[in-house]
Structure 1
Amino acid sequence: MATFVVLLVLLSALLHASWNAFLHLSGDRLWLLGMMSIPYLVVSAIGVMVLPAPLPASWPYIAASVVLEFAYCITLIRAYRSGDFGQIYPIARGLSPMLVFVGALVFAHEALKPLAATGVALVSVGIMSLAFRRGMRFSGESVPYALLTGFFIASYSVVDGLGARLAGNSLSYIMWVYLLWNIPQFVMVWHLRGGRQQFFASKNEVAKGMLAGLIALTAYCLVIEAFRYLPIATVSALRELSSIFAVLIGWLFMKEKLTARHLIACALVTGGAVLIRL
């Protein structure tokens, strides 16, 4: 079972890097975020009707997750506004495994074995190193917002890891989070982007937004299920292998350079993942 769950988390990592690439390439990232909300709303509305309600103990976690997910989306958009995909994504994703490790230790009392803890550290260092290169320049706001994004990622990961275990049904838990988070997000974007006439102006872009939304919600549903079987810090660190996929996507589709430094960083992250699995 553990090996199968790890494979699900790695699939989630690939899907997560893919929807972030959609977001980065979008000419209007706020609009894309609103468009991505539509699949979330449709799927979650069906989910809350057919699945059993989460147990009462999980509702404070659902409320906290809604706030943290919304904040995460806003800070991610601000970070992408002025930073490169290959820089911002690794900073945000690389910070979170170590923060999750601390959060899981404090709030879930999950202490990883030394080998696994070393693996988490290697994953974080390897991912963060992907963002830095000689002669690079960051805008005044890109790094602070990327770091803040990493904080929100770690926060909702710990909250959801605990909440999903208390809910009785992990999919029911995340369906309620998706529904309550995306209603205000969609309404906000709809209002800011001029309503129906402008919101659905381009069929091609609408299709891309819908696809990105389906990819994103699938990716995190896999993570929520994994939280039931593996320690929160382990799932978080393995999920952040998405940064390796992000580098490859940037190289293959965005003409971003792939250097020896990237390969060394990828080796560190892969080594860390192996230690975690062992």
Structure 2
Amino acid sequence: MEPFVVLLVLFSALLHATWNAFLHLSGDRIWLLGMMAIPYVVISAVGVIVLPMPAPAAWPYICASVVLECGYLLALIRAYQSGDFGQIYPIARGLSPMLVFVGALVFAHEALKPLAAIGVALVSLGIVSLAFRRGMRFSGESVPFALLTGLFISTYSVVDGIGARVAGNGLSYIMWVYLLWNIPQFLLAWHWRGGAKGLFIGRTVVLKGMTAGVLALAAYCLIIEAYRYLPIAMVSALRELSSIFAVLIGWLFMHEKLTARRIVACALVTLGAVLIRI
């Protein structure tokens, strides 16, 4: 069972990198995030009807996750306003595996074996190093908000890891989280981008946003299920292999350079993943 779950996590990482590529290429990221909320709301509304209710013990985690997801979104948007995608994404994603490792140890009492712990550290180091490229500068505001984004990611990862287990049904848990989170996300984007006229001004963005939303929803549903079978820190670290997929997507489809620095960073992440798996 465990090898199959690991493969699901890696597939989730590929989906995550793909929808982030949609976000990266979008000319209006706020509107695209708003359109991503549409399939979230539709699918999660169906999910809460057909799936069993989460156990009562899961509701504090559901409410906490909704608040943390909203905070994550606001921090991410604020970081992108003053920073480059290629810097913000690795900093935010690379910080989370180590923080999740600490959070899972403290709150879920999960301790990884020494090799796995070293693997988590290598994954974080490799991902963060992707943000540092010759000739690039960080703005004064981008790094703090990227770090805040990483803090939100790690916190909701631990909350969701515990919540999915106590809920009795991981999919039911995440359906409620996404329903309660994405309604305000859609309404905010709707308000900021002029309401219904945005649907006609940016129809391509609408379609791309809905596609990205389906990919993102599928990616995290796989992660929620994986939390039930593997340690939270292990799932979080393996999920961040999405950074390698993001580098490959940028190289293959966006004509971004695959520099020696990036190859070394990807090698560190891969080595970390191998140690985690061992």
TM-score by length of 2: 0.97
- Is residue 190–residue 199 contact of structure 1 (8 Å, CA) maintained in 2? no
- The 5 A counterparts of 1:97-246 are 97-246=97-246
Over 3 Å counting, the alpha-carbon distance change for 1:10 and 1:212 in structure 2 is same
Identity %: 79
Separation in structure 2 between the aligned mates of residue 95 and residue 252 of structure 1, nearest angstrom: 26
Does 1:83 find its partner at 2:73?
A: no
May I ask how many residue pairs the two structures share in their alignment? 278
Separation in structure 2 between the aligned mates of residue 85 and residue 247 of structure 1, nearest angstrom: 12
Q: CA deviation at 1:80?
A: 2.2
Choose 241-250 or 38-47, whichever is displaced more. 241-250
- The 5 A counterparts of 1:13-28 are 13-28=13-28
Q: CA deviation at 1:270?
A: 0.4
- Is residue 161–residue 224 contact of structure 2 (8 Å, CA) maintained in 1? yes
1:84-105 residue CA offsets vs partner (Å, 9 max, x unmatched): 3222111111000000000000
Separation in structure 2 between the aligned mates of residue 16 and residue 86 of structure 1, nearest angstrom: 15
SS in 1 for 2:168: coil
- Is residue 85–residue 250 contact of structure 1 (8 Å, CA) maintained in 2? no
Unpaired stretches in structure 2, ≥5 consecutive residues: none
Give the partner amino acid of 1:68: L
Unpaired stretches in structure 1, ≥5 consecutive residues: none
Give the partner amino acid of 1:57: A
Q: CA deviation at 1:257?
A: 1.9
Query: Please, what is the CA RMSD of the aligned residues?
Result: 1.1
Separation in structure 2 between the aligned mates of residue 183 and residue 171 of structure 1, nearest angstrom: 18
- Is residue 57–residue 167 contact of structure 1 (8 Å, CA) maintained in 2? yes
- Is residue 90–residue 131 contact of structure 1 (8 Å, CA) maintained in 2? yes
Choose 211-220 or 84-93, whichever is displaced more. 84-93
SS in 2 for 1:125: helix
Q: CA deviation at 1:191?
A: 1.6
Q: CA deviation at 1:251?
A: 2.2
Q: CA deviation at 1:74?
A: 1.5
Separation in structure 2 between the aligned mates of residue 134 and residue 268 of structure 1, nearest angstrom: 19
- The 5 A counterparts of 1:249-268 are 249-268=249-268
Q: CA deviation at 1:253?
A: 2.9
Separation in structure 2 between the aligned mates of residue 35 and residue 114 of structure 1, nearest angstrom: 43
Give the partner amino acid of 1:61: Y
Choose 198-207 or 2-11, whichever is displaced more. 198-207
- Is residue 31–residue 205 contact of structure 2 (8 Å, CA) maintained in 1? no
- Is residue 12–residue 219 contact of structure 1 (8 Å, CA) maintained in 2? yes
Give the partner amino acid of 2:222: L
Q: CA deviation at 1:256?
A: 2.5
Give the partner amino acid of 2:30: L
SS in 2 for 1:140: coil
Separation in structure 1 between the aligned mates of residue 200 and residue 161 of structure 2, nearest angstrom: 36
Separation in structure 2 between the aligned mates of residue 200 and residue 117 of structure 1, nearest angstrom: 50
Give the partner amino acid of 1:168: G
Q: CA deviation at 1:215?
A: 0.6
Give the partner amino acid of 2:134: R
Q: Which residue of 1 aligns with 2:43?
A: 43
